[in-house]
Structure 1
Amino acid sequence: MVRLYTDDLSIGYGERLIVNELSVQIPDQKITTIIGPNGCGKSTLLKAITRIISHQSGSVILDGQNVAKENTKQLAKKMAILPQTPESASGLTVGELVSYGRFPYQTGFGRLTKKDYEVVEWALEVTGTKDFKYHPVAALSGGQRQRVWIAMALAQETEIIFLDEPTTYLDMAHQLEVLELLQKLNREEKRTIVMVLHDLNQAARFADYIVALKAGQIVKAGNCEEVITQEVLQDVFNINAEIGTDPRTNKPMCITYNLLRGE
């Protein structure tokens, strides 16, 4: 089932075209990972789909409706995005930050309702951040902060969550912690997860569907066995990769690689 897709989407900054006539379908209630070299349009695509930036032509369709014509608050009830570098939460406690996810549901003076408080508590519980509720966000570790930002996205009660490089700046243990949390949200809460990742093996391990981009266009999209191949990685990253099988997941993994020079 597909609720969200782009149709001939072109995105640019000024006269520079970043994404060119890209059509992609996002499988519902699955984890989709977007991979590709720096500057290929991964983050730009996420921002355009979630309407953070406008696109030049084409369309983004969600539930049969053009996202560009959706009411902002209504759209915020359907999709949430965690940017690559979230804005500073200086001076806020964890509970206060997570409560910001209730903004699309607030009316009048913006006071939190009983339902709002219940959802915030649930988001803290699910992400394992309840013990930090009254702690300053700035006092948390990188992995803890990332889980708090995810809790805020969850508090929006959207069925689709976008994350732009959610493991950046985290050590290996915290990267795994965040990715396992997202996998849990997908499996237990049926959330559709769309994220940009740089680590190919993490993409293969956690994604149901992978989109490989190069120069603003799709080179290959499909399951990890179809995308994490020597041929696709050579085309996308200009590397000669040795592909093996992850003994824990039986999914393909990049064992080692060489940069192709002048070939």
Structure 2
Amino acid sequence: MGRLYTSNINIGYGDHVIVKNLSVEIPDKKITTIIGSNGCGKSTLLKAITRIISHQSGSVVLDGKDILKENTKNLAKKMAILPQSPESANGLTVGELVSYGRFPYQKGFGRLTKKDIEVIDWALEVTGTIEYKFRSVDALSGGQRQRVWIAMALAQETDIIFLDEPTTYLDMAHQLEVLELLQKLNKEQERTIIMVLHELNQAARFADHLIAMKDGEVVKAGNCEEVINRHVLQKVFNIDAEIGRDPRTNKPMCITYNLVKGENKHEENRIPDHFALSANY
């Protein structure tokens, strides 16, 4: 097995099981993207792997140890997570927010050391946000704020970074900016990136490894060729997709799609004949 994997984990709230008997392996030093429809368990899986929530049974193993038995600060030195909706940073400057990433390394009264300041400035430089260091986080655009949150994750100096829908609420240009930054971190610094994405073509373009989920289970895990195809997408999203090639990356991409409907599915919602007839006039 690899460095990070789950073994037969079940995750739920009370009696409601969301993720069922799931075993996945996260490739080291690669970009892994989890896809699936709303409510399929993508974010729940991310939270369980990072110990934000507990799993009911099974195990999550990192470097040969069950994460439930790992010291909190030691775990925070190995993995960082950027949640879907980061907590408000009202009143904080960019530098102050990024400094929170140094928490696992602080002792005593938590004063920043020279090393801490060097790492914070490095994280700001890498994410292209050093010029905002003394500005209020509230004054930044959505794309700028997202890069600052990523800088905070980088300041943790972890090999593994989890991101839950990092492009949510961003326009197309800022989405691309964030994803290219993550790709750069992976290629140049060999960071292992695990993220949840909704947009299929972004997932295909930037991921080395894809995990497609439905109803708390893995439908297919593998490279883009294995996952972005008509058969898998029909199972996961109930769509009939036309798959082509991205002319810039040569990776598979979804060109268009229709909903798959059963023979008598939604019969009760069929347009009455007299309305269909009147539409012809």
Same fold (TM over 0.5): yes
Q: Which residue of 2 aligns with 1:40?
A: 40
Check if 1:247 corresponds to 2:247.
yes
Residue identity opposite 1:180 in structure 2: E
For residue 172 of structure 2, what is the aligned residue in structure 1?
Answer: 172
Q: Kindly state the Cα deviation for residue 260 of structure 1 after the two structures are TM-superposed.
A: 1.1
1:1-263 to 2 correspondence within 5 Å?
A: 2-262=2-262
Q: Which amino acid in structure 1 is aligned with residue 150 of structure 2?
A: I
Q: Deviations over 1:20-57 (max 9, x none)?
A: 01000000000000000000000000000000000000
Q: How large is the RMSD of aligned CA atoms in angstroms?
A: 0.7
SS of the equivalent of 2:23 reads strand
Supply the distance in 2 between the matched residues of 1:262 and 1:196 (Cα, whole angstroms).
Answer: 29
The amino acid of 1:25's aligned partner reads E
Equivalence for 2:277: none
Distance 2:2 2:150 in 1: 24
Q: CA deviation at 1:228?
A: 0.2
Q: Once the 2 structures are TM-superposed, how far is the Cα of residue 9 of structure 1 from its aligned partner?
A: 0.7
TM-score (norm 2): 0.93
Give the percent of matched residue pairs that are identical in Structure 1 and Structure 2.
Answer: 80
What letter is aligned with 2:261? R
Alignment coverage as a number of residue pairs: 263
Query: In 1, distance between residues paired with 2:10 and 2:128?
Result: 39
Q: Structure 1-normalised TM-score?
A: 0.99
SS in 2 for 1:161: strand
State the 1:262 CA deviation.
2.0
Listed one character per residue, the Cα deviations across residues 56-78 of structure 1 (whole Å, up to 9, x for unaligned) are 00000000000011000000000
Local SS of the residue matching 1:107: coil
DSSP 3-state at the match of 1:29: coil
Secondary structure of 2:163's counterpart equals strand
- SS for the counterpart of 2:24 is strand
Please give the alpha-carbon distance, in whole angstroms, between the structure 1 residues aligned to 2:215 and 2:31: 23
Aligned to 2:270: none
**Residue 4 of structure 1: how far off its partner (Å):** 0.1
User: 1:158-197, CA deviations, whole angstroms, 9 ceiling, x for partnerless residues?
Assistant: 0000000000000000000000000000000110000000
Structure 1: runs of 5 or more not aligned: none
2: CA distance between counterparts of 1:150 and 1:181?
9
Greater gyration radius: 2
* CA distance in 2 between partners of 1:121 and 1:197 (Å): 29
Task: For 1:178 and 1:64, locate their aligned partners in 2 and report how far apart those are by CA, in whole Å.
Answer: 32
Q: CA deviation at 1:2?
A: 1.8
Partner-residue secondary structure (3-state), 1:2: coil
CA distance, structure 2, for counterparts of residue 15 and residue 143 of structure 1? 39
1:93-145: CA deviation from partner (whole Å, max 9, x where unpaired): 00000000000000000000000000000000000000000010011000000
SS at 2:211's partner residue?
strand
SS in 2 for 1:74: helix
What is the alpha-carbon distance in structure 2 between the residues aligned to residue 136 and residue 18 of structure 1? 38
